[in-house]
Amino acid sequence: MQYPEPIAKLIESYMKLPGIGMKSATRMAFYTIDMDESDVTSFAKSLISAKRDLHYCSICGNITESDPCIICADKTRDRSKLIVVEQPRDVMSLEKMREYQGLYHVLHGVLSPIEGKGPDDLNITSLVKRLQNDEGIKEIILATNATPEGEATAMYISRLLKPAGIKTTRLAHGLSVGSDIEYADEMTLFKALEGRTEI
């Protein structure tokens, strides 16, 4: 038996989310139908607003409603340090730690030959530009994940920045190999930041 088109379409939409297969998508679709209309409306509005009202910061690449983002615009932050991360979610995780007061730069991915992702597919040009514009940055902390791609990306950036003579450090591996910044607890992140080493 085929589902009526509206529900088939809803199932199809849920299946676009990561880790959601046919079974879960079907369950979620039927659950949605049973929800109050006002809740469904607010859910749909949140989806649209998250997509329409959020942009990438023109300086650091983080997601933001305003441009520049609140971190880049905050004059009280330590402008001598800059943490390079893979995703906006990593900024959120590091901010939760409340220990770091410096700036960020979001790459939006890692180098991955398998997925055909090269330096031009990452937000690297704007990082180099920031250093050329001399925002007073003295240290770049490479906080890509401890995966082979994350390591390769950190190495690539450190080599790229070497001629500029800026100190480049890497988070210590209190973070276990293969682990993601996003899922690390605050204490682990704090230790990894404290124990960072020059590369």
Which residues make up the interface to Zn ion (CB under 5 A)? 57, 59-60, 62, 68-69, 72
Nearer to Zn ion, 72 or 127 (CB): 72
Q: Report in angstroms how near the CB of residue 142 gets to Zn ion at its nearest.
A: 18
Q: Report in angstroms how near the CB of residue 98 gets to Zn ion at its nearest.
A: 18
d(CA 173, CA 36) in angstroms, rounded, equals 47
Q: Report in angstroms how near the CB of residue 36 gets to Zn ion at its nearest.
A: 38
Nearer to Zn ion, 122 or 175 (CB): 122
Nearer to Zn ion, 77 or 191 (CB): 77
Nearer to Zn ion, 33 or 70 (CB): 70
d(CA 24, CA 171) in angstroms, rounded, equals 37
Angle, helix 186-194 to helix 88-96, in steps of 10 degrees? 90
d(CA 141, CA 113) in angstroms, rounded, equals 24
d(CA 168, CA 185) in angstroms, rounded, equals 24
Q: Report in angstroms how near the CB of residue 93 gets to Zn ion at its nearest.
A: 16
The answer for residues whose C-beta is within 8 angstroms of residue 170's C-beta and 6 or more apart is: 141, 142, 154, 158, 196, 197, 199
Nearest to 106 by CA among 136, 68, 134, 144: 144
Nearer to Zn ion, 41 or 133 (CB): 133
The amino acid occupying position 89 is R
Q: Report in angstroms how near the CB of residue 44 gets to Zn ion at its nearest.
A: 29
